């Protein structure tokens, strides 16, 4: 009997957690959902990449060096990336057809002639139009004996300055998408993980193995081990998914061009997953211990699931169009709702620096109460198999 | 090895008094048979010993002091409601339980294999528990109770559902453990088995212990009994003063009489040939019926 050592409570929790880890990681359904999540977010990143109107580089030609220089300068001035070369007039046809030139420009008496394959790109239209007018103006000013350079300089100064009362915050679409993707991933992972806890609790009741287990460990240890084990599995799922999204985003260059705050977004996503998981896993574990059959799990945990579904649905449906929505902002500070709303807002970059910390503090303050309530219910109910136990009874027997 | 003591345990479920002052002791190396009719309180008692149920009153002592969680970790328990993870492999399951009871991973693995071999389920170590037959699940359940080398065995109806070979294996294991000094307590409705296996027996009736002692003690009767095979005349015993017929079936009569029984034998011989004349002691089944019905008549009388 020399091999027997005493088992500290933490050790017992860890042994139980290890079993959960092993069992879940081997489950085919877990592997499939993880793969689906990864595929989903990577697809999301690619869509974001395609739809955020990233600056394309235009290939332009000009039949003489002077025009080429003017086009290049004007393009640079208006923030259009263009590769301008001087080409022979006879090559125009070939360049447009075979070499994918977007346009070839040729000086003309009235300004410019622009050769294109079918239509002129809308972005290039005002640019070339402007150049043509400029050139006509230069000719006219010259003819009138003025100084074209002076006129150009004066023109460059001219323009309508906009004075807005409520200037809109500059927000790019990638930030909105980042917020929504983070929100979805956290929601899906939380739903999966916390329901696994509920199912696991009932599985032990249904199979009656709980009586054997509770002859060596305390109910609290069994519940904690289950929550920790499944939590680690869920965490791994979130890390893999968000990691895949981050890698995809950096590979496509999406991160260079957008305002996403990558570090804080990922950090807070993990933090909110952990907080949300702990909150809902223990609540669902407590509720699930009231029933003895898998068919009853759904009905007993539905009220708690509502607290998860509502903020999520509200967040992903309202925030993309209205990232600073007042109700969402308020709800995101409330424990239980924060894990779903705060990461979306964080991803969209609409949180004030203090907001996530306040929400985190509030959420953590509520946790001990939830642990105590759920632990009491679980301890009282988990050995009572048979009919569904009333929540009131399970709380009272403490 | 230490002894297990139950001291005036009481437990009520609402108005129902399930245990009403249950006391008995199981010494080191002793196999204690716990019998009683359905609903008498056997399972309730065992659950209290394991701490999965709290008693309303009374104490469970191990080694002379109230039993603790650490002591309970050294108990091998087979619950009445069998329970293992249905989708977990037999080997993994046994290892897991061994580790929960404090074995190192290596020791747990070795022990799981050893007990699977002893109980004849080593071929099934890699199978899910739910794929095993009921009897084999039962063997795994016993292995689960034994896998951590317990210092006390508490088995709730370990023999139910076993085939005769498995009964023998199980009996062998219990004897083995007892020989190693482990107190063993098990409940059963198979009284012949209890009689064969147990050193001491406790009979519980509606939450009260109505008899506790060695089989010998329980079977000892105030007035000796004799079994006579031969006389068929119903009144052959009339000549013997103080003798009483307990049962008569064909030519077999069980007689209760004072003295050395020689007068009974003479009376029997007087009616014709006697094929058998043996002292008879009540079987556990007889005792059980007697004790249980006594209590019933007592209750009826009240
Ligand atoms: N959870 C419970 N709630 C209410 N009554 C219970 C509960 N568990 C047991 N009882 C009652 O307590 C009494 C003792 O039950 P127990 O299970 O200990 O009997 P037992 O001796 O093990 O019977 P069996 O031989 O049928 O297994 C019974 O009258 C039973 O109905
Ligand atoms: Mg029973």
Residues with Cβ within 8 Å of residue B211, at least 6 apart in sequence: B201, B202, B203, B218, B287, B291
> Among B271, B222, B218, B215, which Cα is nearest to B248's?
B271
Ligand 1 atom at shortest distance from the alpha carbon of B46 = 18
User: What pLDDT does residue B297 have?
Assistant: 44
Which tens digit of pLDDT belongs to each residue from B84-124?
999 899 999 999 999 999 999 999 999 999 999 999 899 99
Sign of torsion over alpha carbons B68, B74, B207, B43:
positive
CA distances from A278 to A190, A281, A366, B230 (A): 10, 5, 11, 80
Residue B84 at interface with chain A, using a CB cutoff of 8 Å: yes
Cβ–Cβ under 8 Å, residues A268 and A295 = no
Q: What is the predicted pLDDT for the residue at A171?
A: 66
Q: Which residues are placed with Cβ below 5 angstroms of ligand 2, an ion?
A: B 42-43, 80
What is the maximal distance between C-alpha atoms in chain A? 111
Question: From first to last of its 398 residues, what are the pLDDT tens digits of chain A?
Answer: 445 567 788 899 999 999 999 888 888 888 898 898 899 888 877 877 776 655 577 888 888 888 888 888 888 877 778 888 888 888 888 888 888 888 898 888 778 888 888 888 887 888 888 888 887 888 888 888 888 778 777 777 777 777 777 766 666 677 788 888 889 889 998 999 999 999 999 999 998 899 999 989 999 999 999 999 999 999 998 888 888 888 887 887 766 666 667 777 888 888 999 999 999 999 999 999 999 888 999 999 999 999 999 999 999 999 888 888 899 999 999 999 999 999 999 888 888 889 999 999 999 999 999 999 999 999 888 888 778 888 888 888 65
Q: Where are the domains of chain A?
A: 9-51+172-396, 57-149
Instruction: State residue A313's pLDDT score.
Output: 94
pTM beyond cutoff 0.80: no
What's the rounded Cα separation, in Å, for the pair A337 and A315?
A: 10
Identify the structural domains of chain B with CATH numbers, from first to last. 4-219 (3.40.50.300), 223-281 (3.30.70)
DSSP H helical ranges for B198-283: 215-219, 262-271
* B298 vs A120: CA distance, rounded Å: 110
**pLDDT over 60 (residue B302):** no
Provide, for chain A, the percentages of residues in helix, strand and coil under a 3-state DSSP scheme, each rounded to the nearest 5: 70, 5, 25
With an 8 Å Cβ cutoff, are B100 and A4 in contact?
Answer: no
Alpha-carbon gap, residue B56 to A242, rounded angstroms: 53
Closest C-alpha to ligand 1, atom 12: B18
- Torsion sign over Cα B86, A227, B150, B19: negative
| Distance from the alpha carbon of residue B294 to the mean position of ligand 1, in angstroms | 21
Residue B44 CA to ligand 1 centre (angstroms): 6
* A347, two tokens: 């991803």
Ramachandran region, residue B213 (left: φ > 0; alpha: ψ -120 to 50; beta: rest): left
Q: What is the pLDDT of residue A284?
A: 95
* Distance, CA of B86 to CA of B93 (rounded, Å): 10
Strand, coil or helix: what is B213?
strand
For CA atoms A145, A148, A154, A158, the dihedral sign is positive
**More confident of the two residues A161 and B267:** B267
Atom of ligand 1 nearest to the CA of B14: 4
Tokens encoding B131: 């794929």
Q: Are B128 and B88 in contact (CB under 8 A)?
A: yes
Q: How far is the CA of B44 from the centre of ligand 2 (A)?
A: 7
Ligand 1 proximity of B41 Cβ (cutoff 6 Å): yes
The pLDDT assigned to A346 comes to: 86
Other C-beta atoms closer than 10 Å to the C-beta of A68 total 18
Check if the beta carbon of residue A104 is closer than 8 Å to that of residue A96.
yes
Contact between B235 and B67 (Cβ < 8 Å): no
Which residues face B252 on adjacent strands?
B229, B249
Does B73 reach chain A within 8 Å, measured CB to CB?
A: yes
CA-based nearest residue to A185, from A33, A351, A365: A33
Q: Which fold has domain A57-149?
A: D-Maltodextrin-Binding Protein; domain 2 (3.40.190)
DSSP labels for A211-256? HHHTTTS-HHHHHHHHHHHHHHHHHHHHHHHHHHHHHHHHHTTHHH
- For B69, B239, B247, B252, B280, the CA distances from B234, given in Å and listed in that order, are 62, 12, 11, 11, 20
Pick the range with the lowest mean pLDDT from A181-185, A223-227, B2-6, B257-261: B257-261
Give yes or no for residue B26 CB within 6 A of ligand 1: no
Predicted local confidence at residue B230, as pLDDT: 85
């Amino acid at each position: 009997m020399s091999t027997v050592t005493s088992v500290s409570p933490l050790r017992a929790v860890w042994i139980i957690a290890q079993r959960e880890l092993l069992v879940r990681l081997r489950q085919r359904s877990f592997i499939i959902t993880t793969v689906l999540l990864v595929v989903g977010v990577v697809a999301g990143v690619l869509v974001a990449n395609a739809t955020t109107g990233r600056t394309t580089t235009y290939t332009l030609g000009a039949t003489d060096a002077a025009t080429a220089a003017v086009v290049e300068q004007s393009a640079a001035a208006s923030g259009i990336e263009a590769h301008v070369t001087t080409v022979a007039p006879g090559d125009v046809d070939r360049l447009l057809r075979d070499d994918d030139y977007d346009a070839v420009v040729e000086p003309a008496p009235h300004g410019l002639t622009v050769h294109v394959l079918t239509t002129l790109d809308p972005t290039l239209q005002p640019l070339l139009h402007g150049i043509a007018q400029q050139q006509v103006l230069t000719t006219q000013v010259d003819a009138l004996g003025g100084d074209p350079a002076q006129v150009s300089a004066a023109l460059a100064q001219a323009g309508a300055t906009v004075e807005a009362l409520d200037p809109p915050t500059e927000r790019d679409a990638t930030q909105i998408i980042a917020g929504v993707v983070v929100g979805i991933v956290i929601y899906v992972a939380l739903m999966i993980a916390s329901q696994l806890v509920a199912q696991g609790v009932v599985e032990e009741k249904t199979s009656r193995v709980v009586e054997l287990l509770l002859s060596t460990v305390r109910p609290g240890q069994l519940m904690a081990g289950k929550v920790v084990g499944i939590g680690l599995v869920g965490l791994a799922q979130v890390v893999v998914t968000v990691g895949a999204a981050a890698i995809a985003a950096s590979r496509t260059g999406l991160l260079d061009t957008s305002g996403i705050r990558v570090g804080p977004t990922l950090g807070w996503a993990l933090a909110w997953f952990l907080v949300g998981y702990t909150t809902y896993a223990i609540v669902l574990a407590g509720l699930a211990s009231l029933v003895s059959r898998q068919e009853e799990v759904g009905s007993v945990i539905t009220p708690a699931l509502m607290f998860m579904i509502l903020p999520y649905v509200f967040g992903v449906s309202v925030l993309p169009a209205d990232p600073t929505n007042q109700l969402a902002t308020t709800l995101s500070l409330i424990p239980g709702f924060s894990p779903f709303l705060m990461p979306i807002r964080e991803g969209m970059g609409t949180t004030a620096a203090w907001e996530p910390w306040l929400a985190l503090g509030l959420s953590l303050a509520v946790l001990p109460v939830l642990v105590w309530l759920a632990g009491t219910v679980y301890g009282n109910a988990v050995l009572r198999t048979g009919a569904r136990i009333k929540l009131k009874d399970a709380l009272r027997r403490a | 090895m230490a002894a297990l003591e139950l001291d005036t345990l009481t437990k009520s479920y609402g108005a129902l008094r399930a245990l009403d002052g249950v006391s008995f002791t199981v010494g080191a190396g002793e196999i204690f048979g716990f019998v009683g009719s359905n609903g008498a309180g056997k399972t309730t008692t065992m659950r209290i010993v394991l701490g999965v149920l709290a008693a309303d009153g009374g104490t469970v002592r191990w080694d002379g002091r109230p039993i603790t969680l650490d002591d309970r970790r050294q108990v091998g328990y087979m619950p009445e409601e069998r329970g293992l993870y249905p989708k977990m492999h037999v080997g993994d399951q046994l290892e897991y339980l061994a580790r929960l009871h404090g074995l190192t991973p290596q020791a747990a693995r070795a022990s799981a294999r050893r007990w699977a071999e002893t109980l004849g389920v080593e071929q099934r170590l890699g199978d899910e528990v739910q794929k095993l037959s009921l009897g084999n699940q039962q063997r795994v359940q016993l292995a689960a109770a034994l896998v951590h080398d317990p210092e006390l065995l508490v088995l709730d109806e370990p023999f139910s559902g076993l085939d005769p070979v498995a009964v023998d294996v199980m009996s062998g294991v219990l004897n083995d453990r007892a020989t190693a000094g482990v107190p063993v307590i098990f409940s059963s409705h198979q009284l012949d088995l209890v009689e064969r296996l147990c050193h001491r027996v406790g009979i519980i009736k509606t939450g009260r212990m109505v008899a506790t002692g060695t089989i010998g003690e329980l079977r000892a009767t105030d007035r000796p009994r004799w079994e006579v095979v031969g006389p068929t005349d119903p009144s052959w015993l009339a000549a013997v003063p103080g003798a009483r017929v307990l049962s008569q079936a064909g030519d077999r009569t069980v007689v209760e009489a004072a003295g050395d029984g020689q007068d009974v034998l003479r009376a029997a011989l007087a009616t014709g040939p006697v094929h058998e004349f043996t002292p008879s002691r009540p079987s556990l089944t007889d005792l059980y019926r007697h004790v249980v019905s006594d209590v019933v008549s007592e209750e009826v009388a009240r």
